């Protein structure tokens, strides 16, 4: 007897974006811990490896000429330059995984989400996390104790710019409580997995059902 989990389906690309301090990294970790078939997309980057990082797990580290070659060969689903370093999502591995029903989590900004949507269309689900207020967002940034006031002012300016793109996302979730936010985001993932167009085994199942 078939059930909703046994039917083959195409995987999806689940994008989480938010201003710095709105909870994107925490929600991403919670999702990866809770969902067996959700895999963090591993980016190619030109930035130097940091202590404790593993090539191929945290990032795929590449020199600039190699990265430029991949851009020229259109080997990325999306790529961007951030603070002088380049980051890109390798196309071949993701596309193979989607065909096999693997879901991928993307922790990227609105520009990366826009590129992904332009190139992958219905495979992409975009979720934007909002803080309950800008004052609360600023309080969260100060409470980290890692940034100077000048850096925080810069992050707040960037936050306002990022928030202005909320309308380009499929879902918008206000993160005023971490557990509630996590439950809402996980519900979105569950619903998107059940969409008819992703469930490539559904036609065969229905044919068998009708015999």
Domain boundaries, the chain: 13-41+101-210
Q: How far apart (Å, rounded) are the C-alpha atoms in residues 127 and 16?
A: 5
Q: How far apart (Å, rounded) are the C-alpha atoms in residues 182 and 31?
A: 8
pLDDT tens digit at each of 211 positions of the chain: 555 566 899 999 999 999 888 889 899 999 999 999 999 999 999 999 989 999 998 899 999 999 999 999 999 999 988 778 999 999 998 999 999 999 999 988 898 899 999 999 899 999 999 998 998 888 888 888 778 888 888 889 989 999 999 999 999 999 999 999 999 999 999 999 999 999 999 999 999 999 8
Task: Give the pLDDT score at 191.
Answer: 97
Q: What is the pTM of this model?
A: 0.86
CATH number at 13-41+101-210: 3.40.50.300
């Amino acid at each position: 007897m078939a059930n909703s989990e046994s039917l083959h389906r195409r995987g999806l690309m689940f994008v989480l974006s938010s201003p710095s301090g709105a909870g994107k990294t925490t929600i991403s970790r919670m999702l990866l811990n809770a969902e067996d078939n959700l895999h963090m997309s591993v980016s190619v980057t030109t930035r130097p490896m940091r202590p404790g990082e593993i090539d191929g797990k945290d990032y795929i580290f590449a020199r600039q000429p190699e990265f430029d070659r991949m851009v020229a060969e259109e080997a990325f689903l999306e790529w961007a330059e951030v603070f002088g370093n380049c980051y890109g999502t390798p196309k071949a591995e993701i596309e193979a995984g989607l065909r096999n029903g693997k879901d991928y989590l993307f922790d990227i900004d609105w520009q990366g989400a826009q590129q992904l949507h332009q190139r992958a269309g219905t495979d992409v689900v975009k979720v934007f996390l909002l803080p309950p207020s800008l004052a609360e967002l600023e309080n969260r940034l100060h409470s980290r104790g890692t940034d100077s006031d000048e850096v925080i002012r810069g992050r707040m300016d960037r936050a306002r710019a990022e928030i202005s793109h909320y309308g380009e996302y499929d879902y918008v979730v206000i993160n005023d409580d971490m557990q509630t936010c996590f439950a809402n985001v996980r519900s979105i993932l569950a619903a998107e997995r059940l969409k008819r167009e992703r469930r490539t085994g559904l036609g065969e199942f229905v044919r068998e059902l009708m015999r």
